[in-house]
Structure 1
Amino acid sequence: MTNREGATVARSSWVDEWAQYGTCSGSDPDALFVQGAAQQQAKQVCMGCPVIAECLADSLDNHTEFGVWGGMTERERRALLKRRPNVTSWRTLFEADRTRRVLSAS
């Protein structure tokens, strides 16, 4: 994975400074803070993003209320938080899942 400056990040690792690597990093941020049907179009920006998991984990861990983050609308994130109230760290959950997938692929 590379950022806009061409720096490479190993995909098996968690990216702490994820925002600079997002596919949305060079676009108008207001495009991700829309309502109604426009949210579906905003979510398309996230598809294929190399840091979608980091973005989603950050928004879930911080209970971000507005905008599309990690490919999910605020309503979708609220529903996920409600379904999984025992998750104390989405980052930890997603990191563990990524590690399992990397190990099973080797």
Structure 2
Amino acid sequence: MTFVDTEDWTLQAKCRGMQDKLFPHGADQKRARAVCMACAVRSQCLAEALDNRIEWGVWGGMTERERRQLLRQRTDISSWQSVLCGKPKGK
């Protein structure tokens, strides 16, 4: 993924400007996830977190724990961007 591609989807994110609120603890994670549910770039966001093994925060509607579990279950996937967004990583 190029810088321009990353910049494009992040500008469309529903959570834009809310970074601190996307790193909640406990019950507050549910509120953060709710922001993601209606976001137009949810798949790109989740792919970014999974491909780059981002360990903190809510990304694409998934918590750190949920992403770690998914990565453990699906070790066969080398590009989440390809799976979730339909385009090869780096394109």
- The TM-score bracket by the shorter chain reads 0.7 to 0.9
Aligned AA (2:19): P
Structure 2 counterpart of 1:20:
11
Q: Separation in 2 of the partners of 1:41 and 1:95?
A: 25
Between structures 1 and 2, the one with greater helix share: 2
- State the Cα distance separating 1:95 from its structure 2 match: 2.7
- State the Cα distance separating 1:96 from its structure 2 match: 3.0
Structure 2 counterpart of 1:81:
71
Structure 2 counterpart of 1:9:
none
Aligned AA (1:19): T
Structure 2 residue aligned with 1:94, among 76, 79, 84?
84
Q: When the two structures are superposed, what TM-score results if normalisation uses the length of structure 2?
A: 0.84
**Runs of 4+ residues over 2 Å off in structure 1:** none
Percent identity reads 50
Q: Which of structures 1 and 2 has the bigger CA Rg?
A: 1
Q: How many residues align?
A: 82
Aligned AA (1:30): D
- State the Cα distance separating 1:54 from its structure 2 match: 0.1
Q: What are the ranges of 5 or more consecutive residues in structure 2 without an aligned counterpart?
A: none
Structure 1 residue aligned with 2:46, among 52, 56, 75?
56
Q: When the two structures are superposed, what TM-score results if normalisation uses the length of structure 1?
A: 0.72
